């Protein structure tokens, strides 16, 4: 082999390693292409933007290559229109292969496919028109992805991502379609072998991809925005607060709107305490043992007081019974004072 042949072989080998394919429009993250924004603070320009992010044996970089998005979208498109995509000239298309163009609304974790070109990607040039469904949700935090499994050469997986905005759609809408295929990306991913020369292209991976639905951030199932009612002080009552009346924790009652409201809400329904509870300052209070004793004593003493008062006033049969002078002397104190003294002794016990 001559020196010339060795030099040409080395040059072609170096070119096949470094010159693959890369998207230039819309601007992918950290691209060095003219007109693309500078990388976010703390990030560097991607001078190996044509390189794969993984092979069949290992994962070299995360999906999208870089996970820190630009501060603002690099381009804005309207739902129902198309995204013009362009690739860098002078790359190596490796016999074509499978390309997919996808959208992500969760920062690049889940991608729904908009357009696929199987087997012969780049066979018709370096420009593509990718349609955006008219029901694509509006968002200024959309990730547009180009992914590629080459047909010839090392078994690799390529991906570039651009941060874009979509307008004109429903911000609370959703988009359904095939899930992006990730192959030749580490040993746990599906393997697509070389297929340009009659091998198995594994088109079934694409034809049978799961159908998924994506939504704009914060546009999942509608949530109630009703705030819980708070006490007049502006602070929600504590559920474990107690007072000197041995109160149970604050109990919530159904409000007139059907939501739960607590003590201090603007329009609560009247509390419905159980037979064993009373209401203190709007809260359900369970009587203490002391209050139970006082209630029982009162129920016994009140009739007795009435009987004694009637006897002392001469309106009871007891007043007609003869009694000794000693007993008369002992009861010579005024009736009201006598009753108060007896009641006082009883409650002090």
Strands 127-131 and 253-254: unpaired
Between CA 304 and CA 218 the distance in angstroms is: 72
Between CA 80 and CA 315 the distance in angstroms is: 101
pLDDT tens string 14-68:
333 445 899 999 999 999 999 999 999 999 999 999 999 999 999 999 999 999 9
Q: What is the DSSP letter of 240?
A: T
Query: Please, what is the angle between helix 335-348 and helix 289-312, to 10°?
Result: 160
CATH code reported for the domain at 20-215: 2.70.50.70
Tell me the average pLDDT of the chain. Answer: 72
Q: Report yes or no: 112 and 176 within 8 Å, Cβ to Cβ.
A: yes
Across 252-274, average pLDDT: 36
Output the furthest CA–CA distance in the chain (Å, rounded): 151
Across 302-318, average pLDDT: 49
Q: Which residue has the higher pLDDT, 76 or 227?
A: 76
3-state secondary structure of 192: coil
- Predicted TM-score (pTM) above 0.75: no
Between CA 195 and CA 201 the distance in angstroms is: 5
Q: How many residues does the chain have?
A: 349
pLDDT of residue 255: 33
pLDDT at 176 over 60: yes
pLDDT tens string 105-162:
999 999 999 999 999 999 999 999 999 999 999 999 999 999 999 999 999 999 999 9
- What is the location of CATH 2.70.50.70 in the chain? 20-215
pLDDT at 245 over 80: no
Q: Which residues pair with 284 in a beta bridge?
A: 279
pLDDT at 241 over 90: no
pLDDT of residue 341: 57
Between CA 250 and CA 148 the distance in angstroms is: 61
**What is the distance, to the nearest Å, from the Cα of residue 103 to the centroid of all Cα atoms in its chain?**
21
pLDDT-derived band at 349, boundaries 50, 70, 90: low
């Amino acid at each position: 082999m001559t020196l010339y042949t060795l030099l040409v072989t080395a040059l072609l080998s170096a070119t096949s390693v470094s010159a693959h394919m890369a998207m230039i429009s819309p601007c992918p993250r950290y691209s060095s292409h003219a007109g693309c924004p500078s990388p976010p603070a703390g990030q560097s320009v991607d001078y190996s933007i044509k390189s794969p992010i993984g092979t069949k044996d290992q994962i070299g970089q995360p999906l999208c290559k870089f996970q820190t998005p630009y501060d603002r979208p690099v381009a804005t498109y309207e739902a129902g229109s198309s995204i013009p995509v362009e690739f860098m000239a002078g790359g190596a298309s490796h016999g074509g292969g499978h390309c997919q163009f996808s959208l992500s609304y969760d920062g690049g974790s889940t991608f729904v496919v908009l357009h696929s070109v199987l087997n012969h990607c780049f066979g018709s040039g370096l420009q593509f028109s990718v349609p955006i469904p008219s029901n694509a949700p509006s968002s200024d935090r959309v990730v547009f992805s180009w992914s590629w499994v080459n047909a010839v050469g090392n078994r690799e997986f390529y991906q570039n991502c651009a941060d874009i905005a979509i307008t004109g759609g429903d911000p609370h809408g959703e988009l359904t379609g095939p899930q992006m295929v990730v192959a030749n990306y580490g040993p746990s991913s599906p393997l697509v072998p070389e297929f340009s020369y009659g091998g198995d292209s594994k088109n079934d991976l694409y034809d049978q991809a799961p159908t998924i639905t994506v939504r704009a951030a914060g546009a999942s199932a509608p949530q109630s925005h009703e705030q819980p009612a708070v006490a007049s002080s502006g602070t929600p009552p504590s559920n474990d607060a107690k007072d000197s009346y041995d109160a149970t924790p604050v109990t919530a009652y159904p409000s007139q709107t059907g939501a739960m409201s607590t003590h201090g809400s603007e329009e609560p329904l009247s509390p419905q305490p159980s037979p064993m509870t009373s209401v203190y300052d709007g809260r359900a209070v369970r009587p203490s043992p002391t209050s139970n004793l006082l209630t029982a004593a009162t129920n016994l003493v009140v009739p007795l007081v009435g009987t004694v008062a009637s006897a002392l006033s001469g309106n009871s049969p007891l007043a007609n019974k003869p009694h000794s002078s000693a007993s008369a002397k002992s009861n010579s104190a005024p009736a009201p004072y006598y009753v108060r003294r007896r009641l006082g002794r009883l409650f002090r016990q």
